[in-house]
Amino acid sequence: MTIDEHFAEMKALLAVLAERPQIRDWYTTEQFAHLIGRAEFTVREMCRHGRIRAEKMLSGRGAYPQWAISHAEFLRYQKEGLLPRQK
Going by pLDDT thresholds of 50, 70 and 90, the confidence category of residue 14 is: confident
- Chain centroid, CA 26 distance in Å: 8
Give the three-class secondary structure for 37: coil
Q: Where are the domains of the chain?
A: 25-87
Amino acid 39: pLDDT = 97
What whole-number distance in Å separates Cα of residue 29 and Cα of residue 16? 24
Query: pLDDT tens digits for 30-78?
Result: 999 999 999 999 999 999 999 999 999 887 667 788 999 999 999 999 9
Residue 46 CB neighbour total at 10 angstroms: 23
Q: What type of residue is 36?
A: I
